[in-house]
Amino acid sequence: MQAWLEHVWYAGTPPPWWLRPWSLLYAGAAGLRRLSYARRWRAATRLPAPVLIVGNLSVGGTGKTPLVHWLVERLRERGLRPGIVSRGYGGSTAAVRLIDAADDPGVVGDETVLLATRTQAPVAVGRDRPAAARLLTEAGCDVIVSDDGLQHYALARDCEIVVVDGERRFGNGWRLPAGPLRESPARLRSADAVVVNGGASPDGRPRTARALEGALTMRLEGDCAVSVHGAERRPLADFAGREVHAVAGIGNPERFFELLRVHGISITRHPLPDHARLRSEDISFPDEHPVLMTEKDAVKCRELSAPRHWYVPVTASFETGASKQLMEIVMRAIERRRARA
């Protein structure tokens, strides 16, 4: 079903007629919900610490999680104590709780375990985002970074950063389920910053940034592989010219596959649904070729791994000017909040 829907969303053809009424209903419900908070018919929770939202307009991977990691590191460099709040997608728990890197991704979510591992920052999960974020302030965090949550208006925010996939953009432009959008692209006008992930034209310039006025450009970089079974690191260049199995259970698996191809690696593709719970048969193959997977997948198969299993960590990267501009936007939002306190 997910594969069929993504074909509908990104194939460049109109969606089936029978999906369109559902999209209109979805758009109406989402708009009414946002209006209810804007008009204060429903109250948003304002925490004692500034809240930064990193979200998107569409379902699926746009690069939010690597950007959250990047942002947490930049905030630390400025002497702040950031914490991360997440819904815990892919996990079974609805409870509000703090997590750590040793938690089961099947319970608390794969992206939250990945962030806890990479950032070593406090991470809280739960369907009640305000309550989860409150755990972070009680733990001593002085700024909250929300991984996703753009449409979760119950948590008042001081800065919104919207990430756009530079390749897939907004798909066919329809709302769910006829298209991939949660909100209209017009929503970008109210965001504090728009970040375009990838999507370069042949001359190396970002296509989407030209179409989105004021957008900043980001790319995901990865040049090494880390053993899932241990701690060994190898440059991706070591796999060039070799046959490997590429496993990706993320929102846009093709981005991971293209990263490997750019490094000269010959791959057999194994795309999986986003947040898929991995089984042994998902990463075990009858030959002896190495298996390269995303870091998000690796946290879910530590007990299933063998020496031939590797993951490829990626990091968000900006041009110097874009990096500085984004942090100026973020720090201004934090200072505004402090001035009102």
Per the structure block, which two tokens stand in for 129?
A: 């985002």
Q: φ, ψ for residue 147 (rounded to 5)? A: -80, 105
pLDDT at 206: 47
pLDDT, one tens digit for every residue, the chain (341 residues): 777 888 899 988 889 999 999 999 999 999 999 999 999 999 999 999 999 999 999 988 789 999 999 999 999 999 999 999 998 888 888 889 999 888 999 899 999 999 999 999 999 999 999 999 999 999 999 999 999 999 999 999 999 999 999 988 999 999 999 999 999 999 999 999 999 998 754 344 445 544 577 899 999 999 999 999 877 999 999 999 999 999 999 988 999 999 999 999 999 999 998 888 889 999 999 999 999 999 999 999 888 888 999 999 999 999 889 999 999 999 999 999 998 87
Degrees, nearest 5: CA angle 271-275-280: 65
- Report which residue type is found at 242: R
Q: Kindly list the distances between the CA atom of residue 167 and the CA atoms of 15, 203, 284, in Å, as whole numbers in the listed order.
A: 19, 15, 30
pLDDT given at position 203: 41
The confidence score (pLDDT) of residue 337 equals 94
CB 271 within 8 A of CB 265: no
Q: How confident is the model at residue 200, as a pLDDT?
A: 56
